[in-house]
Amino acid sequence: MKQHIARWIVLPAALCLLITGFFGGVCSAIEGKSTELLFKRGTDWMEKGEYDKAIVDFNMAIELDPKLAVAYFNRGSAWSNKNSYDKAISDYNKAIELRPDYAEAYNNRGVAYEGKGESDKAAADYDKAIKIRADYAEAYNNRGLTRGKDDPDRAVSDFSKAIEGNPKMYQAYNNRGLVYAKKGDYDKAILDYNKALSLNPNYADAYYNRGSAWDEKSEPDKAISDYNKAMDIQPGMLQAVYNRGIAWFKKGNSDSAVSDFTKVIEKNPSHAQAYYNRGVARIKKKDLDKAIDDFSKAIELKPGYAEAYYNRGQVWEEKGDYERGLADYSKAIEISPRPEWIKRKF
């Protein structure tokens, strides 16, 4: 199942620190009222999500004071939020050149590298940020996400360090829960999701992820409850609808399962798995012709979908069309000669 992670794109925290520093005199290097006003207005635009307007103001601030590291940093954050990672990295490079101990710039440059798929460079930047600031919770969180792909134990350690540095960082609890779930320790995962939700009761991702953990523990009622809460908070969370459909099926409620998979298909007509799973649910309803239609659509969208061939073959066999059933079984075996999935429906 798809899981929701939270990468700390240190923009809100960084801007808060910058604004505090600005009024507290840390940014005394800003020369002249015009530069001061441009920087402040650009920061305000950032907080409102108006990144293009922020970039214009930071451009002018930099023209007036080319050594203003914090302006490069904030402009880099704006570029990063626009997914313009190369421009973001260029600005973070300049900020670091001007301030070699700029831990936040290393962290944010790491996030930009992550956006480009360059995880090794991202991890190196998180390492540098942590070396500068040993209690840098956001950098530990981000490094944990990078490590979680290949080294779950070290990822858990990083998320724990993030929590130690900032006990209210609900994202780190969520992310550590994801690693525990990946390791198959769903009880620990649920405890972390619980903590994340106690810190932020409106955290849709944590409800979604806890629902996935309940599902893995064969607790479909609890899973459905959490998916419902996730969708109450974030109505567009299509993956929660999809997973709820699976939970309904496991409860034996094929009608509700078909309804949820249909909702997913209406929003995303290219979702091959939704067609496949709706087909499985329709088998339970003895709606064999529609099940065949669903498996056929799944195969059209994903030609190498061995499970869909196999299940369609079962339906043909049940309908007495052994020739077509045999053809589908043969195709499934051709695609996957050692089909461990034969007993697995979802």
Residues 6+ apart with CB under 8 A from 234: 204, 240
Is position 60 within any domain? Answer: yes
- 8 token code pair: 């700390």
- 115 is in which domain, residue-wise? 36-132
Tell me, what's the pLDDT at 150?
86
Q: How many CA atoms lie within 13 A of 273 on its CB side?
A: 11
Please report, as a single letter, which amino acid is at residue 10: V
* pLDDT beneath 50, residues of the chain: 1-30, 344-345
Mean pLDDT in the chain? 89
Tell me, what's the pLDDT at 115?
94
Is position 223 within any domain? Answer: no
Secondary structure of 139-152 in HEC code, one letter for each residue: HHHHHHHHHCCCCH
Is position 224 within any domain? Answer: no
Tell me, what's the pLDDT at 34?
82
| Dist CA 222 CA 253 (whole Å) | 15
- 51 token code pair: 């990144």
Is position 90 within any domain? Answer: yes
The total number of structural domains that make up the chain: 2
Is position 99 within any domain? Answer: yes
Is position 253 within any domain? Answer: no
CB of 144 closer than 8 Å to CB of 158 = yes
- 139 token code pair: 């950098």
Whose tokens are 């009622």? That residue is 221
Q: Last residue of some domain: 77, 108, 132?
A: 132
Q: Last residue of some domain: 100, 132, 164?
A: 132
Is position 123 within any domain? Answer: yes
Tell me, what's the pLDDT at 339?
61
Q: Last residue of some domain: 132, 163, 192?
A: 132
Q: What CATH number did the domain enclosing 86 receive?
A: 1.25.40.10
| Dist CA 113 CA 127 (whole Å) | 13
Is position 215 within any domain? Answer: no
| Dist CA 125 CA 119 (whole Å) | 10
For 263-299, the pLDDT digits (tens) are: 999 999 999 999 999 999 999 999 999 999 999 999 9
Tell me the backbone φ, ψ of residue 135, rounded to 5 degrees: -105, 25
CA distances (Å), 239 to each of 114, 128, 268, 281, 285, in order?
23, 36, 11, 18, 23
Q: CB neighbours (10 Å) of residue 116?
A: 14
pTM of the complete model? 0.83
C-alpha closest to that of 66 among 96, 41, 94, 44: 94
Pure H helices in the chain: 11-24, 33-47, 51-64, 69-81, 85-98, 103-115, 119-132, 137-147, 152-165, 170-182, 186-199, 204-216, 220-233, 238-250, 254-267, 272-284, 288-301, 306-318, 322-335
